[in-house]
Amino acid sequence: MLDHFSFKRAHLAKAYCDSVAGKGIANATSGLFLAGPRRVGKSTFLIEDLMPEVKARRWLPVYVDLWANKLIDPAILITETIKTAIASYKSRLSKLARKVKVQKINILKTVELDFSKPGLPDNVTLVDALTQLIKLAEKPVVLIIDEAQHALTTQNGINTMFSIKSARDQINMLNNAPDLMLVLTGSNRDKLAQLVVKKDQPFFGSEITAFPLLGQDFTDPFTKEVNKALAKNNQFTKESVWEAFQLIGYRPEILRQMIGRVAINHDAQSFSDLLKQDASLWHTQIWEEFENDFNRLSALQRVILTLLIKQGRAWSPFSEESMGYYQEAIHQPTLSVSTVQTAIQALREQGFIWQSSRGAYALEDDSFAEWFMYNSKPINQKNK
């Protein structure tokens, strides 16, 4: 019933491609950085909308998801993806014309890419690899890095981001054209911002763009498509689907699953009422989990999270001001830095706090901050 439904955002893909090429209203030739919550359709958009538009413009999309395997250093995931793209053009390399199984590819006069080993040889830079890829493809390259903030979790990952920035500058300056364009996404705005907000970060000065959430322009045709398979006397209303979609945080895959479960129950008095009940229940369960997880923390851990949520990227966990806040909040004037360090490490292990390899911090899940801020409001404000 739902498998064949597809919602395209071609206008958005065109606008983003114009931006990275320097032709749109918003100039993103330094890189397009898209931030949006988990499971709101970012990866689907990249694969089903952005990449087809890139290909339609006769550009080469090179896509890598840094969450594809979190056990592998993100630097390796990026370099191996670029090497694979180079290998796809092996028929253009005369040395490979007679080879069936290829382990090594000559990309420069004296340099080979070794596919039996991860990464690049010491005498080959990412600039070299990307330059050769553009030459082999004979078209501009759009490097798309999904969940790019994960690169900050290792020093090699950070170094690779600097190399990509260097490649962008060198290639585009040499050719006086945007032959290497960058699109980087992240499921947490504060994490992704670590790449752009500090002078010692690779893309300092670039801007974070909020990835637009799906709206009623998605839920209305989705509802119409679903209703085609249902009895005329028991269908979903557009209003109920839109309300449920908002309750589940604008997550299309969860909506599909929920609609499917409800539609199976043909004895239900009202599909629309049942859908709203399920969405409300889902929302309540998620927030109850946040509340239970938060209440299980120690007093110090709760205070640390509170300050992080209030201050965001400005949070300095061991500053005199922060230490004073912790001490006053838990009535412990002798609180030590090492005790705070231990509490933060425990919060990292429990999935509350994310930390880059350079010591920058962010909340792991933005939805937790939403729950916290809501429950920090006065009761009369919550009921509005």
Provide DSSP, 127-160.
HHHHHHHHHHHTS-EEEEEETGGGGGGSHHHHHH
State yes or no: pLDDT of 120 exceeds 80. Answer: no
Q: For the domain that residue 27 is a member of, what is the CATH number?
A: 3.40.50.300
Mean pLDDT estimate for the chain: 87
> Which one-letter DSSP state was computed for residue 306?
H
> Are both 60 and 130 inside the same structural domain?
yes
Average pLDDT, integer, range 277-300: 93
Q: What is the pLDDT of residue 104?
A: 56
Average pLDDT, integer, range 258-274: 79
Query: Which domain range does residue 251 map to?
Result: 233-292
Average pLDDT, integer, range 352-356: 90
Q: What is the pLDDT of residue 93?
A: 52
Q: What is the pLDDT of residue 98?
A: 39
Q: What is the pLDDT of residue 384?
A: 46
- Please report, for residues 5, 6, 47, 134, the alpha-carbon distance to residue 2 in angstroms, rounded to integers and kept in the order given: 6, 9, 19, 39
Note the residue count of the chain. 384
State yes or no: pLDDT of 266 exceeds 80. Answer: no
State yes or no: pLDDT of 73 exceeds 90. Answer: yes
> Are both 58 and 125 inside the same structural domain?
yes
> Are both 146 and 268 inside the same structural domain?
no
- Please report, for residues 330, 331, 352, the alpha-carbon distance to residue 335 in angstroms, rounded to integers and kept in the order given: 9, 9, 22
Q: What is the pLDDT of residue 118?
A: 72
> Are both 287 and 302 inside the same structural domain?
no
Determine, yes or no, domain membership for 201: yes
> Are both 165 and 265 inside the same structural domain?
no
Q: What is the pLDDT of residue 99?
A: 43
User: How large a percentage of the chain has pLDDT more than 70?
Assistant: 88
Q: Which of 354, 352, 318 is nearest to 336 (CA)?
A: 318
> Are both 126 and 81 inside the same structural domain?
yes
pLDDT level of residue 190 (50, 70, 90 thresholds): confident
> Are both 153 and 201 inside the same structural domain?
yes
Average pLDDT, integer, range 29-42: 93
pLDDT level of residue 94 (50, 70, 90 thresholds): very low
Last residue of a domain, one of 210, 241, 265: 210
Q: Which pLDDT tens digit goes with each residue over 198-247?
A: 888 889 888 999 999 999 999 999 999 999 988 888 889 999 999 999 99
Determine, yes or no, domain membership for 83: yes
Determine, yes or no, domain membership for 222: no
> Are both 69 and 205 inside the same structural domain?
yes
> Are both 78 and 197 inside the same structural domain?
yes
Q: What is the pLDDT of residue 220?
A: 97
Q: For the domain that residue 349 is a member of, what is the CATH number?
A: 1.10.10.10
Phi-psi label, residue 333: left if phi above 0, alpha if psi -120 to 50, beta otherwise: alpha
- 188 in Cβ contact with 206 (< 8 Å): no
Q: Give, for 64, the enclosing helix (H) or strand (E).
A: strand 60-65
Q: What is the pLDDT of residue 115?
A: 63
More confident residue, 383 or 265: 265
> Are both 188 and 243 inside the same structural domain?
no
Cα–Cα dist 210/33, whole Å: 8
Q: Which two tokens stand for residue 281?
A: 């229940």
Q: Which of 285, 283, 306 is nearest to 294 (CA)?
A: 306
The pTM of this model reads 0.83
Determine, yes or no, domain membership for 17: yes
More confident residue, 197 or 333: 333
Cα–Cα dist 269/258, whole Å: 17
Determine, yes or no, domain membership for 3: no
Determine, yes or no, domain membership for 354: yes
Q: Which two tokens stand for residue 289?
A: 């989990």
Q: Which two tokens stand for residue 379?
A: 């009761």
Give the chain's domain count.
Answer: 3
Last residue of a domain, one of 292, 315, 342: 292
> Are both 277 and 312 inside the same structural domain?
no
Determine, yes or no, domain membership for 215: no
Residue 345, helix vs strand vs coil: helix
Q: Strand 180-186 vs strand 112-114: parallel, antiparallel, or unpaired?
A: unpaired
> Are both 172 and 285 inside the same structural domain?
no
Determine, yes or no, domain membership for 221: no
Last residue of a domain, one of 270, 292, 314: 292
State yes or no: pLDDT of 132 exceeds 90. Answer: no
